[in-house]
Amino acid sequence: MPEIDIEGEKLEYSIRRSEKASKPRIDSKLEGIRVVIPEGSDLDPEKLLENRSEWVREKYREKRDFLDSIEEKDFVEREEFLYRGDKIQLLTEQEESEITEQNIKTKASEPRDVEEEVRKLYRKQAKEIFSQHVDKYSERIDGEFNEIQVRNQRTRWGSCTAKNNLSFNWRIIMAPEFVSEYLVVHELVHLEHSDHSQKFWKRVKELFPRYEESEKWLDNNQNRLALTKNDIMKSN
């Protein structure tokens, strides 16, 4: 990855040439700074970065501070995990791997194996919870969805694709119930309104009056909805 020295600080960045870009730009994403250059342009990426050095440094600091605020799990006995808005304890070497109101139970004992089981349990529970919310609201929506998918996405909590597939981030299983319910309503309403127009938000409010509270909770707690920094850095 190329680097640039900005006032003594070495910062990594990536370069992407795009046929769709009409002018050069700098994108700041959690995975880093990216310089987007129109196909055929002879622009020097470093020159663009140097011209916006103050902004680039600010975005680097924001990313570093955000990642530093994530409390990575060790996946050891009695460690606390966030689940549906509450803290529950991890128990290892159990007869069954399951999640109860008080505990996450795994058959495994080694941290690497425990982590794998915890992720599987979270994904399974997330699929069940999202499916329940979809069942609750889908009959009130003028439109039909195709299927429900559960994935890990760096910064998106949900989406409704052009094929009407509903996709949700499994890490939302850590958030309170009203947040996961709101996300389902949000994506279902996209079956009626593809954009975020006034009509879209009016419909969301009709179905789920707590939508603003949910948005605020997500804005204030993004760093809590991860087991490790890799959850933020990699999609799958």
For the chain, counts of helices (H) and of strands (E):
7, 11
List alpha helices for the chain, DSSP H.
45-51, 53-68, 111-137, 177-189, 198-207, 211-221, 230-233
156, 224: one domain? yes
> Shortest CA distance to 71 belongs to which of 225, 236, 235, 234?
225
- Which pLDDT score is estimated for 42? 87
- Which pLDDT score is estimated for 154? 74
Q: Is residue 77 in a domain? A: no
Percentage of the chain modeled with pLDDT above 90: 70
**Domain residues for 149?**
120-233
- Which pLDDT score is estimated for 196? 92
20 confidence band (pLDDT: 50, 70, 90): confident
132, 63: one domain? no
DSSP lists the bridge partners of residue 119 as none
124, 228: one domain? yes
- Burial label for 177, CB within 10 Å (0-12, 13-18, 19+), is exposed
Q: Is residue 210 in a domain? A: yes
Token pair for 5: 């020295």
pLDDT digits (tens, 9 = 90+) for 112-126: 999 999 999 999 999
Rounded to 5 degrees, what are φ and ψ at 203? -70, -40
pLDDT digits (tens, 9 = 90+) for 131-189: 999 999 999 999 999 999 999 887 789 999 889 999 999 999 999 999 999 999 999 99
Model confidence pTM above 0.75: yes
- Which pLDDT score is estimated for 236? 62
> Shortest CA distance to 86 belongs to which of 150, 173, 169?
173
Residue 235, pLDDT > 70, answer no
Last residue of one domain, picked from the residues 68, 96, 111: 68
64, 131: one domain? no
| CATH number where 214 lies | 3.30.2010.10
- Which pLDDT score is estimated for 32? 79
pLDDT digits (tens, 9 = 90+) for 190-204: 999 999 999 999 999
Q: Is residue 7 in a domain? A: yes
235 vs 95, residue with greater confidence: 95
- Which pLDDT score is estimated for 107? 97
Residue 223, pLDDT > 80, answer yes
